[in-house]
Structure 1
């Protein structure tokens, strides 16, 4: 029986096409599956998990490319499916625990700080009064803060409040504040892709919508040198969150030292691919198969026995 991989994604397109091609080169059958279509079913023998396209069997391994947004309950169930797959001995890249850490910006900030990774000062709380005091204190010191949704990506929902804190209603009643780092005009940040504990490539994202430097918000992608400082910060950030692969967003602070803003556990790489000759999908697949699955070979041997046919 051929080795079968499920690419978990809520949409098919450029990224999944690249991944499927890279898996074909390695003689691996890869099938796209939406986590929203998976289910826990304790009558579905032998595992109690139903994964579309795999019948009563399970995939030999899972590559997580995308998880659709939804209600708290929907997202919890989708992550629960990934947890359940791991419990069944199926290697998951990145696994649910690591994705949970990276999706929750407050936990990302906590872990970066705990493990000594340079990152801007950050505050997260449900108290409007506390958040207002933070804002007033930072303003009095001549600094600005950025207010972000706790869960979000592609620069959506970011605000730079004035002296008054906006209503927390638009932020699901949670205030996540991060000290703003000004990079001048036009502003920029770096995206570094880390795969298997190694920084692979970097780009500079310049401009965009005002001070938000996301490719999806109109920023211009330029190749960037992988300096030792960028490499060290990105690799340490990825390790702090326990990710197999990650897109690490960094910005130059005082003296040009890079500090980590965010770590993306389900990172897109189309912008980065446009400025590097490396085949990023192939590098991801090679690391997935050669490092991740080699480590889990004993587990795979047990999990891919008779009960999966």
Structure 2
């Protein structure tokens, strides 16, 4: 196999399951024999569900930590080593988690995903979309540029300028949420500005915030307890939603919020789908909060490596199976068909 023949990089995709040239590929014919890399920095409930969903389609999912992958141009024509796949590439990849590390380590891990994409391996979510969604400032910028409602937000390296914004917002009666730029599960969130009638100053950004102030105007709860929505979008379509209810202002399930089933009305679905489309995500967990005084619903965050254990408890269908089926039918099948036509 030579680098210039990328269409042949996955020979299994051009096998008998493809049928005659030009014939459509069914899900049942597609998956048997496919080997899928599940990239995760830790294994557990989510990876087990994905492996079970792949087995249900006759495919095999192998968990791999991106930290264990490497570039080795002596190992194979493509120059990558993916543990468990020998000299071959996986037929597809699902990104479940990317471990933190030094700038160099994270760059290498993302580089592996970029390389797989360039070599023709469907990566779900695409690495470029993950980069957009994991960077909260970029997420907010893209949502704002697309005209989607999201709270006023600032990302600033200057402590003096950040403190000036906090003072100005506080004087106007607003609280701000200080968040780590790269963070999840509600960790490191802090209210500054006007909080319960008192001014709360910005803390030292060197501790816990890597010298950067990512500030988002706080959207107060409409009642007690407060809530927001987590909407799951798969393949461009909102498929399920839940309310995350909490007496605390942080509504993440990891911080103790209670999961309740929620009706997926048209406005909620349209906004979540637009947010996922803006970031070009295959699937997304979109966090939306209601706003007071007739203001539109507000998109808080868009998660490109979204957990769904809490949502699964209040959702009647198998979310992992929905993700796997979307990967196979929308991302893998077109390559399968193209390979069958050229065989």
For this structure pair, what is the TM-score category when the shorter chain's length is used for normalisation?
over 0.9
The residue aligned with 1:70 is: 101
Match among 104, 126, 130 for residue 95 of structure 1:
126
Aligned equivalents of 2:188, 2:36: Cα separation in 1? 35
Query: Quick check: 1:89–1:299 contact (8 Å CA) kept in 2?
Result: no
TM-score, normalised to structure 1's length? 0.94
TM-score, normalised to structure 2's length? 0.85
Q: Could you say what the CA RMSD is over the residues aligned between the two structures, in angstroms?
A: 1.7
The residue aligned with 1:262 is: 301
Match among 87, 111, 121 for residue 56 of structure 1:
87
TM-fit CA distance, 1:185: 2.3
* Cα gap change, 1:206 to 1:44, in 2 (>3 Å): same
In structure 2, runs of 5+ residues without a counterpart are 1-11, 13-32, 194-198
CA-to-aligned-CA distance 1:54-89 (integer Å, 9 cap, x gap): 011100111111111222222111111100111111
Aligned equivalents of 2:94, 2:333: Cα separation in 1? 15
Q: What SS does the corresponding residue of 2:206 show, helix, strand or coil? A: helix
Correspondence 1:201 to 2:240: yes
The residue aligned with 1:147 is: 178
In structure 1, runs of 5+ residues without a counterpart are none
The residue aligned with 1:116 is: 147
Aligned equivalents of 1:299, 1:143: Cα separation in 2? 55
Once structures 1 and 2 are overlaid, which stretch shifts more, 72-81 or 292-301? 292-301
* Cα gap change, 1:300 to 1:268, in 2 (>3 Å): farther
Aligned equivalents of 1:297, 1:111: Cα separation in 2? 33
The residue aligned with 1:230 is: 268
Aligned equivalents of 1:26, 1:125: Cα separation in 2? 47
Once structures 1 and 2 are overlaid, which stretch shifts more, 280-289 or 40-49? 40-49
Q: Which has the larger radius of gyration?
A: 2
Correspondence 1:24 to 2:48: no
Query: Quick check: 1:199–1:231 contact (8 Å CA) kept in 2?
Result: yes
Correspondence 1:14 to 2:51: no
Q: What is the number of equivalent residue pairs in this alignment?
A: 303
Q: How does 1:122-201 map to 2 (within 5 A)?
A: 122-162=153-193, 163=199, 164-170=201-207, 171-183=209-221, 184-201=223-240
* Cα gap change, 1:301 to 1:59, in 2 (>3 Å): farther
* Cα gap change, 1:262 to 1:95, in 2 (>3 Å): same
TM-fit CA distance, 1:227: 1.1
The residue aligned with 2:26 is: none
CA-to-aligned-CA distance 1:234-274 (integer Å, 9 cap, x gap): 10110111100010011001326321000110011000000
TM-fit CA distance, 1:118: 0.9
Aligned equivalents of 1:69, 1:298: Cα separation in 2? 37
TM-fit CA distance, 1:40: 1.0
